[in-house]
């Protein structure tokens, strides 16, 4: 059992109406994607043809910010703001999809972009799965 799952299950606000595993998976995917996108942006900056990666850098940083914010929102169990959570999940899903498409364009030449695209696709799916579960 992960610490994420343990924190959800031990929180005083019981989540009987929510799939705890989907929530935990989404939180983990968000934070992993944020780290991967941040590292990919840094790797893009280190490439010789950094100008060609300008859009990739932007999308990596946007995605990292949205994933971090979404992971934080999902980690908070006190109170209720379902509309905000759903909007954050949708924004994160879209940002991950856009970042993955861009990174996939560079994946043949830059291994870090391939790795990043995979993390983005995983997070995109985790957000979609959680949205379906709470929808």
pLDDT in tens, 21-42: 999 999 999 999 999 999 999 9
Burial state string for 86-107 with b = 16 or more CB within 10 A and e = fewer than 16: eebbebbbebbbbbbebbbebb
**Rg (the chain; Cα; Å):** 16
Contact 115, 60 (CB under 8 A): no
Q: What are 113's two structure tokens?
A: 């972009």
Mean pLDDT of 49-78: 95
Burial state string for 28-66 with b = 16 or more CB within 10 A and e = fewer than 16: bbbbbbbebbbbbbebbeebeeeeebeebbebbbbbbeb
Contact 64, 41 (CB under 8 A): yes
Q: What are 106's two structure tokens?
A: 């560079």
Please give the pLDDT value at position 17: 73
CATH 1.20.1270.360 applies to domain 3-8+19-134 = yes
Please give the pLDDT value at position 118: 98
Please state, in angstroms and rounded to a whole number, the distance separating the CA atoms of residues 100 and 23: 22
Task: Report how far apart the first and last C-alpha atoms of the chain are (Å, whole number).
Answer: 26
Q: What are 78's two structure tokens?
A: 């006190």
Please give the pLDDT value at position 1: 64
pTM of the full structure:
0.94
Please give the pLDDT value at position 14: 72
Q: What is the pLDDT of residues 98-108, one digit of tens each?
A: 999 999 999 99
């Amino acid at each position: 059992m992960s610490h994420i799952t343990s924190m959800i299950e031990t929180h005083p606000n019981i989540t009987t109406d929510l799939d705890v595993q989907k929530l935990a998976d989404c939180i983990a995917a968000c934070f992993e994607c944020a780290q991967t996108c941040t590292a990919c942006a840094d790797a893009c900056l280190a490439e010789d043809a950094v100008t060609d990666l300008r859009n990739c850098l932007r999308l990596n940083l946007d995605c990292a910010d949205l994933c971090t914010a979404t992971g934080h929102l999902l980690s908070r169990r006190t109170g209720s703001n379902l509309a905000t959570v759903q909007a954050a999940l949708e924004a994160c899903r879209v940002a991950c999809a856009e970042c993955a498409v861009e990174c996939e364009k560079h994946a043949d030449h830059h291994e870090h972009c391939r790795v990043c695209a995979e993390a983005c696709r995983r997070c995109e799916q985790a957000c979609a799965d959680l949205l379906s579960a709470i929808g």
